[in-house]
Structures are given as C-alpha cells and as structure tokens.
C-alpha cells in the first residue's frame, strides 16, 4: 500500500530559527514529490521534485529529494510568523490513465515572535 509519512507532526519555533521538515515515502510508480503550504484554506503549491540531489529554492525555502532513500526534506531558514502553516508533502504516482497524489498527514509549524 502506498504511503507518505511526514515528521514531525508539529513544531514550534521562534522567529529566526531554521527548521527542517521530513517526508518519507513508499509509493509504486513514482513520478514526482510535491510540497504544499496550507493556511486555513486550500493548499498552495511550493515545489515539485523529480530528480535526486537537485535542490529547489524559493527565497528562504528549499527542498531536496533522495530517490534512493525515498525521502525529501523542506528547509525554511530565518523563519517568520508568516511561515506558520501546515506543510503537506505529496507523492505523485502514475496510476494508469491518471496521476494520483498520495498525501502525508502534514507538519503543523508554529512560528512565535
């Protein structure tokens, strides 16, 4: 059975801290791994990763994928209160005529001033 596991489930930090969120997966027919940010509404897309070892970066956020060890990490440096959200990891898998997303449970990040 396909599964995506995120850790930790929740995290509380202070502004300026650096955090690392983890995502491990066991999914057949892997196509890509996606990270989303969710703040009390619909998830918003952050990154898509398809190849091992290539870091994707957007401002203070970065992510990398290891397809041999089947995990990804999302780093946030110099955290701000606006980074408080649930971060979702999802693996896109080929399911015949459709690609499906298998989501992890999310990591709830709270950044305190």
Partner 1 sequence: NAGVTQTPKFQVLKTGQSMTLQCAQDMNHEYMSWYRQDPGMGLRLIHYSVGAGITDQGEVPNGYNVSRSTTEDFPLRLLSAAPSQTSVYFCASSRDRGLQSQYFGPGTRLTVT
Chain contacts with partner 1 (rule: CB under 8 A): 4, 9, 32, 34, 41-45, 48, 88, 90, 92, 97-101, 103-106
Least separation in angstroms between residue 47's CB and partner 1 is 9
HEC string of 6-36?
Answer: EECCEEEEECCCCEEEEEEEECCCEEEEEEE
Cα–Cα distance, 52 to 72 (Å, whole number): 9
| CB closer to partner 1 out of 8 and 16 | 8
Least separation in angstroms between residue 90's CB and partner 1 is 8
Least separation in angstroms between residue 43's CB and partner 1 is 6
| CB closer to partner 1 out of 28 and 113 | 28
| CB closer to partner 1 out of 17 and 90 | 90
Cα–Cα distance, 5 to 34 (Å, whole number): 13
Q: In terms of Cα–Cα distance, which of 25, 103, 4 is closest to 67?
A: 25
Least separation in angstroms between residue 80's CB and partner 1 is 24
Q: In terms of Cα–Cα distance, which of 98, 78, 70 is closest to 19?
A: 78
């Amino acid at each position: 059975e396909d599964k995506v596991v995120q850790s930790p489930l929740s995290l509380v930090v202070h502004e300026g801290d650096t955090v690392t969120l983890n995502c491990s997966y066991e999914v057949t027919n892997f196509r890509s791994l996606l990270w989303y940010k969710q703040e009390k509404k619909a998830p918003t897309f952050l990154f898509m990763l398809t190849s091992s070892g290539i870091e994707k970066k957007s401002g203070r956020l970065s992510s990398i994928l290891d397809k041999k060890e089947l995990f990804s990490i999302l780093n946030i440096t110099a955290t701000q209160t606006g980074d408080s959200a649930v971060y979702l990891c999802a693996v896109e898998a080929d399911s015949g005529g459709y690609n499906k997303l298998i989501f992890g449970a999310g990591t709830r990040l709270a950044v305190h001033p």
